[in-house]
Every structure is written in structure tokens, then in C-alpha cells.
Structure 1
Amino acid sequence: MKYSIGLFVVVCSVTISVGSSLQCYKCSDYYGGRCEKVQECSYEDSCLTLHEKGGKTIRQCIRYTDCDNSRLSQMFPAVSGFTYRCCNSNLCNSAHSVSAPLLSLLICLLSLCWSCCSA
């Protein structure tokens, strides 16, 4: 039983990053190219994915309060038409949507169930 609880604590501490700053991808690419540069954001930020009408995609940190259509139009005046998405989990502005916190929670829950059932 002690081994199972210890394993649960280790798995949860490894998979959940508590207190660290938000990380977002930062790049401007065309047609969903690979974006590998990671940017550390402040605690007030979220991750932005802005798809320009011409095919360019901009990924970066942005203040959560600036994440609305009118503010983005002011911040990117050269962009005539766009869609956007703001999110606030690590690297959530990738080309492929993966929810790391959800995966971490699932691993912790499975570990807890495993440790309770094997006791």
C-alpha cells in the first residue's frame, strides 16, 4: 500500500507543473508549418493562435484581456481578415490541439485507481 501511494505521488508530481509560467509557441508561418520556438509568458497572458485570411498563422503570448476581435484588429493592423483562438494551458497554441493538463489528470486518476484496487 505504501508503495502504491508513493508511486501515485511521484507520477502526479512529474506530470503536473505547479507554479510554473505559461509557455506558448511563438512564430509566424504559412499553411500550418512547424512551429518549434517556445516563449515564456507572464501570469496575465494566454496563448494566441491567429489565422490570417491569406494563410499566415501567428502564434505567441498575449495578455488575456487583449484577446478580443477589436483589440487584435488594433494590434495587427496589417491583417485584414482573421480568426483567432486564445487558450491558457502550456503549448495549447500548437497546430495540433493536445491538452496536457487533462492528460496529467487522467494519469493521476488512473494511478490512484490502480493503487486503491491493488491494495
Structure 2
Amino acid sequence: MSTSAPAHGRVGTRRRERQIRDVMTPCGSGLALLLAFLMLTFAPRGHALRCYKCSDYTGRCDRVQECTYEDACLTLGVRGGETLRQCIRFTDCDNSRLSQLFPWAAPDFWYRCCNNNLCNSGAGGSGSPRPWLLVAGLLAVGLARP
């Protein structure tokens, strides 16, 4: 009499593993492509963020600041018409924190935070990635699936 397990038990386990792997592989490769695309689209480009830096009433700002520890650009406007532009940490972009950082501007101010180079210009800047990159990435993931 043999005490070993029946051979069909091991074959059934291998078959289930192969079925799981076959199901997971297309999804996994699509997910890997999507992650790679997102990293390439939204990852820093190897240099610091650049923002306009000035405080004026004209809306024109030509001075550029390279942000060292900050990861966003701020445009803050106050009722009298003064506009402040500078680098800021994105986590500081809320009413409460900005009121602490700029008490002279509170309580009547508006603000905009963005995280692309020179996005805090008076001309509306680009606050989001280029839409065609997003479409191209989604198409690539869709085409990668069987």
C-alpha cells in the first residue's frame, strides 16, 4: 500500500495555479503599464518647481523663484487688489493655514494653489497635466489587454 498523496491532487493544484496566473497576467500587465504611465506623467522632472514670486497690484510678475522645499505655487489675492505669488507647500493651501501665514490678508482673501512650473501667473497658467497624455496612456492600457 502506498501512503503518498494521489497524483491528481497535485495536478489539480497546478492547474488552479495556472488558471489564476492566466487570469492575473493580463490584468497585472495592464496595471503595470498604467502605473508606469502615471509615474512618467506626474513624476517630478528632476528639477525643482518654479513659481512666480512677487507682490503687486498690476497682475504682472516677471520674477521667477525656484522652489527648494515647497511643492506648489500660490497666488493669493486680497480685497484691495494686491496679489502675492510665491512657492508654498501644498499642505498649507487651505484657508486656516493661509490665514496664519498671511495674517495681514485675512479674512478677505482668495487663493489658488497649483503644482506645475509657473502655473501661478496672472494668465491662468496650466494647473493640470496635458489631457492628450492622459488619453494616450488610457489607450495604451486598453490596447495592452487581450
Under a length normalisation based on structure 1, what TM-score does the superposition of the two structures give? 0.66
**Quick one: percent identity of the two aligned structures?**
64
In the superposition, relative to structure 1, how do residues 43 and 78 fare at CA in structure 2: closer, same or farther (>3 Å)?
Answer: closer
- Looking at structure 1, the residues matched to 120 and 99 of structure 2 have their Cα atoms a distance apart, in angstroms, of 19
Aligned to 1:74: 100
Superposition CA RMSD, Å:
2.3
One-letter amino acid matched to 1:60: Q
User: Which sections of structure 2, spanning at least 5 residues, go unmatched?
Assistant: 1-43, 137-146
Aligned length: 90
Aligned to 1:64: 90
Compare relative contact order (CA 8 Å, sep 6+) and give the higher one, 1 or 2: 1
Stretches of 4+ aligned residues off by more than 6 angstroms: none
Greater fraction helix: 2
Aligned to 2:61: 35
Determine which of 40, 53, 76 is the counterpart of 1:26.
53
User: Which sections of structure 1, spanning at least 5 residues, go unmatched?
Assistant: 1-16, 110-119
Greater fraction strand: 1
